[in-house]
Chain A
Amino acid sequence: MNEQNLWKLLDEVKDPEIPVISLVDLGVIRSVDFTDNGTPKITITPTYSGCPAMQVMEEDISVRLKLAGIKSFEIETVLSPAWTTDWITEKGRKALHDYGIAPPEQVTSDKSALLGHPKEVTCPNCKSRETKMLSQFGSTPCKALYQCNDCKEPFDYFKCI
Chain B
Amino acid sequence: MEQREALFNYLLRLADNSAILGHKLSQWCGHGPELEEDIAIINTALDLLGHSRSLYTYAGEVEGKGRSEDDLAFLREERKYTNALICELPNGHYGDTIARQFLFDQFNYLVFSELVKSSDETLAAISAKAIKEIRYHLRRSIEWTLRLGDGTEESHNKIQESFNDIWSFTGDLFVQNELDKVAVAAGIGPDLEAIRTEWRKSVEAVLSDATLQTPEDDWMHSGSKSGIHTEHMGHILSELQYMQRAYPGAEW
Contacts and interface: CB of A to CB of B under 8 A. Distances in A.
19 contacts: A48-B47, A49-B50, A49-B54, A49-B133, A50-B47, A50-B48, A79-B125, A82-B128, A116-B143, A135-B36, A135-B37, A136-B143, A137-B36, A137-B40, A141-B46, A141-B133, A145-B36, A159-B136, A161-B133
Given A80-B128, A80-B129, A116-B143, A135 B50 contact: no
Given A48-B46, A52-B46, A135-B36, 12 more contacts: A46-B129, A49-B50, A49-B126, A49-B133, A50-B47, A50-B50, A50-B51, A78-B125, A80-B121, A80-B124, A136-B136, A137-B43
B43 A49 contact: no
Given A79-B125, A80-B129, A82-B132, A50 B36 contact: no
A145 B39 CA distance: 10
Contacts of B132: 82, 84, 161
Q: In which size bucket is the chain A interface?
A: 20 to 34
Interface string A34-76: 0000000000001011111000000000000000000000000
Contacts of B143: 116, 136
A114 interface: yes
A80 B47 CA distance: 17
Interface in A147-161: 159, 161
In order of increasing CB-CB distance, the 8 nearest A-B pairs are A50-B50, A49-B50, A80-B125, A135-B36, A50-B46, A137-B40, A137-B43, A82-B129
Contacts of A81: 128
**Interface size range of chain B in the complex:** 20 to 34
B130 interface: yes
A100 interface: no
Interface of A: 46, 48-52, 78-84, 114, 116, 134-139, 141, 145, 159, 161
Given A80-B128, A134-B36, A137-B39, A50 B140 contact: no
A93 to B, nearest CB: 19
